[in-house]
Amino acid sequence: MQIIITAVGPDNIRLVDPIIHYVTGEGANIAEVQMYNHDEVALFAMLLRVEFPADQLTTLRKAMCEIGDIKNLGIRVWSPEERAERPRLAICTTYRQEPPLALLRAIRDGQINAEPTVMIGNRNACRGTAEQFGVDWHMIGNANGAVNDEQLAELLDHYEVDYIILARYMRVLTAASCWKYAGGRIINLHHGLLPSFPGMRPYHDAYASRMLTYGATCHFIVPELDAGNQIIYQSTFTVPPGQSLEDTIRIGQADNEPRCLVEGVRRVVSREVQLHFHRVVARK
């Protein structure tokens, strides 16, 4: 069984040793190791991908919990194989209703085999969509839309989420949040073609460049915003010369962005692709 272990906490010495020693002592085959020290916030983060016997998953979780308590680390143990037939999704939203609506319809219609376990918003715009599909809703933004990252993590852990879908969720995740759920668990819909048009206004940037082809990108999240090397799927549409920016944005938001998100999530949930060393690879 493929298992991903993430550890996040205050930077210190010898944080990795007990984790590595335990898994290797139990005969695990290590497939990937990544470690990060974010000096500006004194943050340590590690990802460990291993092959481990499925019948020892509970024992592994208990051991990692004990190590986390000793080392003051938040350690999470997750396997994409544990609920492979119907993984649990958290859908994070801000204002746009079209992407989460398309995703929920695709799940309802059997296009995506997943369970929409919870919807989380930093604004209340998509609450009605959650209620329409009978999905638990949690509003975690303050009056300005700012989010408490610990509250977000508590919800994700409480609902035992497998994948976090950022469906036009217009908040940048902190480095700590990214690494708590690293290893291809966070999927983002960006409303522009990466890597050419990153940032918050890709339609406007493409329009200023006199583009006739616009698009959206579904990609795995890593700490660098819209880094562009973790692309799962891209969808495009072409406009005639002279079409207004407003009409282009309307087409993109109503049709292209939702279509891109649905196909991107389907590829991940179906385990056609996975993230490995910050690169998207096709599973054999």
Q: Is 153 exposed, middle or buried (0-12, 13-18, 19+ CB in 10 A)?
A: middle
Which residues, including other chains, have CB under 8 Å from residue 259's CB and lie 6 or more apart?
102, 235
Tokens 């049709």 -> residue: 255
CB 52 within 8 A of CB 3: yes
11 classed as catalytic: no
CA distance 134 to 49: 35
Residue (of 170, 218, 216) closest to 197 by Cα position: 216
Q: Which of 39, 55, 226, 255 is catalytic?
A: 226
Tokens 């090397």 -> residue: 229
The single-letter DSSP state of residue 40 is G
CA distance 51 to 229: 25
Residue (of 230, 226, 93, 104) closest to 168 by Cα position: 93
> Which are the catalytic amino acids?
226
